[in-house]
Chains A and B, each alone.
Chain A
Amino acid sequence: MTTERRHHDMGGLDAGPVHRSEHKFEPWENKTDAIVRLLSQPKRGPMMRIDELRRGIEEMGPGVYDELTYYERWIASIANILLEKGVINVDELGRKIEEVKARHVPASGSAKPAEG
């Protein structure tokens, strides 16, 4: 493939059979979806346009684009755009991610029975 054709622009390329896969969306995926809808509302500016979100995803390049899942691409692009615009800064995002991780309590040993 030539570099003239961008990675996300895939109409007409050869590919294998369509796997009719689906999954139930996780809470963080629903949250990411809602963040995009809220940020793109006219009453908020819009603070982020859908085209900015797409541009951010396209600029990830082939490796990352294929490695991340759909909503992983979304949240990565949202974070970058909010950083570029100065809505959030690198330091507070880094601290907040650690804060979120630290809240996790492993369920092993809890009273909740394991399913399955």
Chain B
Amino acid sequence: MSHDHSHPHDHHHDHGHDHPHRHPNQPDLEDLPPTYYQAMADAVAELLIEKNVFSGGELRETIEYMQGRNPDLGAKLTVRAWTDPDFKKRLTTNAKEAAAEIGIDTGPAPLLVMENTPDVHNVIVCTLCSCYPVFLLGKSPDWYKSREYRSRMVREPRAVLAEFGTEIDPSREVRVHDSTADMRYMILPMRPDGTDGMTEEELAALVTRDSLIGVIEVAGPAAG
């Protein structure tokens, strides 16, 4: 891999203006010529627009729509399920319809919501590629697509979970969902203790993307 890991520009984000954020693998975007594959992406998009396969407007709208998909949607479903047992039942039996009740589109693939309980801890992986509930959580993190995660989660899930700081008691079953075909998955984490008086907004702030993938549990306010 040719990325420069020692690039010095990572620590000076200036949040007052429009520059894109950098990450350690990316030098300044506007200073460098496009890579071969970046140029290919622009070229393919332009050719498809010229050929009226889709319009520039459709492309922009799709980019914006997908950027609006983020873990807040999964958190909203989770909090609703924590606070409304009937909703939880509907969410874990017909997630698409339950989500639609509160205005959330779960995307073209069927969605299965797997509930964590005192007996079972669930976690998602895709060993063949990187299937992920993008419509609820946004694009997947790099580690989810990594060889390490994809290879090891099905064979030594407890060791991988421990690398995320998650220790599952041996009395609980660890149930790994290999997302191999047409279903997509979201984990419904357990509501932590000490959250009885909290508002829905406060609860939603506790629910992280990683808890909806199943690699961590939702921490209570005291542990935060």
> Does A60 touch B at the CB level, under 8 Å?
no
B53: contacting residue among A15, A47, A67, A76, CB under 8 A:
A47
Which residues of B (35-54) have their CB < 8 Å from a CB of A?
36-48, 51, 53-54
Say yes or no: A101 contacts B30, CB within 8 Å. Answer: no
Q: Contact flags (1/0) for B146-159 with A, using CB distance below 8 Å?
A: 11111110110000
In contact, A20 and B26 (Cβ under 8 angstroms)? no
How many residues of chain B are within 8 Å of chain A by beta carbon? 65
Query: Is the beta-carbon distance between B139 and A33 smaller than 8 angstroms?
Result: yes
Say yes or no: A31 contacts B42, CB within 8 Å.
yes
The closest CB in chain B to the CB of A17 belongs to B163
Q: Are A35 and B48 in contact (CB under 8 A)?
A: yes
Is A111 an interface residue when CB atoms closer than 8 A count as contact?
Answer: no
Contact partners of A16 in chain B: CB under 8 A? 148
Interface 1/0 per residue, A47-70 and B, CB below 8 Å:
100000010010000000011111
Some 18 contacts from A to B, beta carbons below 8 A apart, are A8-B129, A12-B154, A18-B143, A22-B142, A23-B23, A23-B24, A23-B25, A28-B34, A33-B63, A38-B54, A70-B142, A76-B37, A99-B43, A100-B34, A104-B34, A108-B31, A115-B19, A115-B28
B residues whose Cβ falls under 8 Å from a Cβ of A? 1, 8-9, 11-12, 14, 19-26, 28-31, 33-34, 36-48, 51, 53-54, 58-59, 62-63, 66-67, 125, 127-130, 139, 141-143, 145-152, 154-155, 160, 163-164, 178
